[in-house]
Amino acid sequence: MKQLLVSGGRRLHGEVHIQGAKNSVLPILAATVLHDGISVLEGCPHLSDVETAVQILHELGAKTSWQGHTLTVDAAGLSRCAIPEALMRQMRSSVIFLGALLARFGEAELFCPGGCELGPRPIDLHLRALGELGTEISVEGGAIRARAKKLRGAELTLDIPSVGATENAILAATAAEGVTVIRNAAREPEIVDLQRFLRSLGVRIRGGGSSSVTIEGLAALHEGHHRVMPDRIVAATYLAAGAACGGEIRLVGAEEKRLLTVLAPLRAAGCGIECDKEGITLRREAPLLAVPPIRTAVYPGFPTDAQAVMMAALLKSRGTTVFVENIFENRYRHVDELTRMGADIRVEGRVAVVYGVEKLCGADLRCTDLRGGAALAVAALSAEGESALHEIHHIERGYEDLAGDLNALGAAVRRVI
Ligand code: EPZ
């Protein structure tokens, strides 16, 4: 089985370009369904989740082609509005195609994505928002059948600023008669990137990135062109690796304004961080210090997706750091694997307390989920000796070339089949 073999204990020195953002390109790929023509996406990362989204597009009747990191989608030949259950189970976020298919065809058949490693992943907010836009939805035996004779603009308020529900409502609203206002919308940067792509198609949308997004439906659409934003969580992962190992690394494409709540604890831990237009440089010489409590929150709070890698960075810091995971119910699955390396972490519900230790030892490790797997790699880099990471398919959902990127920063990571 595929593994990552990590030789730990090296300081890092090097530069890496940050890949395109998984959580931006996935809703944008769903949005290509809106236009019965061409969409050109530059800076598209080669990820297994992107491959799954491409398979869904092919299943619907679209054509795609790659040139390097540019993915061209031709959705002119779209002829189906149903997504097979196997593909839905392969990638939870496939539910994002629901709003786009309703906009294109007025109907959609797919399956409840089901829970995942992070806990139950309900879609009640998605379904309620689409219902308010005029969709009739039935869910039987996990199968979702949605019909909208006519989507109607509405003023809707999300109970919580769900990223996926915001995206699904936006995509459906592009084909609704009249104006839609989505209140308590998610403010994540990936929503702003989706808005940029939609505008390139001709969609009249504003407010992306704020908690109130307005869409004027039924605009005439045309060929879309977009460059996918850099992945802020991949950048956070490499910043955590630099903090954990010490040395000096440069991340080209990392954006300070989208990482402020990640940079703050790293600076508090003793990292020197300089930001400029092209990217971010992190230096760490002295031993890391524990930091004030890290509470995950919706954007612009500390991102839940960076919790595991930040924890891995602080395992040998001097003192005690408290983490509070407020977004997902079960996002500490990496803790057991980290303690096998000698980490000292106590978990009580949503709270994890990290007591800094002198050293970590390389071990045989099993990735439990995407960001938990990345955290194991960060910890292995700062451990003494060799580590072997198994179940790395989790990591490959969101990191185009974790081994290659870390080696560009001076690590010694081998991907073996
Ligand atoms: C997106 O997931 C991201 N995935 C996640 O990244 C990220 O962790 C999450 O947003 C939060 O930032 C993609 O963009 C593909 P939510 P999403 O809807 O849209 C509850 C990664 O590692 N909720 O904002 O599913 C839900 O249970 C992944 O890259 C409902 O209760 O997140 C969760 O507790 C992991 N009902 C909270 O809201 C709903 O209808 C946040 O979920 C929808 C969500």
Report residue 114's pLDDT band, with 50, 70 and 90 as the boundaries: low
Q: Under 8 Å CB-to-CB from 67, ≥6 apart: which residues?
A: none
Q: Please state the pTM of the whole predicted model.
A: 0.97
Mutate to test the pocket of ligand 1, among 48, 92, 97, 121 (most ligand atoms within 8 A of CB): 121
Mutate to test the pocket of ligand 1, among 160, 192, 400 (most ligand atoms within 8 A of CB): 160
CB-ligand 1 contact for 304 (6 Å cutoff):
yes
Token pair for 254: 């990392």
Superfamily of domain 22-227 in CATH is Enolpyruvate transferase domain (3.65.10.10)
**Predicted local distance difference test score (pLDDT) of residue 289:** 98
Work out the percent of the chain whose per-residue pLDDT is above 70. Answer: 100
> Is a pLDDT exceeding 90 seen at residue 112?
no
**Predicted local distance difference test score (pLDDT) of residue 284:** 98
CB-ligand 1 contact for 125 (6 Å cutoff):
yes
Mean pLDDT of 80-105: 94
Residue range 293-338, pLDDT digits in tens: 999 999 999 999 999 999 999 999 999 999 999 999 889 999 999 9
> Is a pLDDT exceeding 90 seen at residue 232?
yes
Report residue 141's pLDDT band, with 50, 70 and 90 as the boundaries: confident
Report which protein residue has its CA nearest ligand 1's atom 8. Answer: 305
Mean pLDDT of 100-126: 88
Cα separation, 44 vs 72, in Å, equals 10
Location of each CATH 3.65.10.10 domain in the chain? 3-19+230-416, 22-227
* Minimum-distance ligand 1 atom for the alpha carbon of 304: 8
Report which protein residue has its CA nearest ligand 1's atom 22. Answer: 305
Nearest Cα to Cα of residue 402 among 227, 233, 193, 190: 233
> Is a pLDDT exceeding 70 seen at residue 68?
yes
Cα separation, 103 vs 78, in Å, equals 13
Mutate to test the pocket of ligand 1, among 163, 182, 231 (most ligand atoms within 8 A of CB): 163
Active site residue 116: yes
Mean pLDDT of 220-243: 98
Q: Tell me the average pLDDT of the chain.
A: 96
Report which protein residue has its CA nearest ligand 1's atom 15. Answer: 23
d(CA 274, ligand 1 centre) in Å: 31
> Is a pLDDT exceeding 80 seen at residue 257?
yes
Residue range 182-200, pLDDT digits in tens: 999 999 999 999 999 999 9
Residue type, 392: I
Judge contact between 126 and 98, C-beta under 8 A.
yes
Residue range 370-400, pLDDT digits in tens: 999 999 999 999 999 999 999 999 999 999 9
CB-ligand 1 contact for 404 (6 Å cutoff):
no
Cα separation, 128 vs 98, in Å, equals 13
Nearest Cα to Cα of residue 256 among 226, 289, 281: 281
Whether domain 3-19+230-416 has CATH 3.40.50.1820:
no
If DSSP codes are grouped into helix, strand and coil, which group holds residue 323? strand
Mean pLDDT of 403-408: 98
**Predicted local distance difference test score (pLDDT) of residue 115:** 64
Residue range 32-47, pLDDT digits in tens: 999 999 999 999 999 9
Mean pLDDT of 149-162: 97
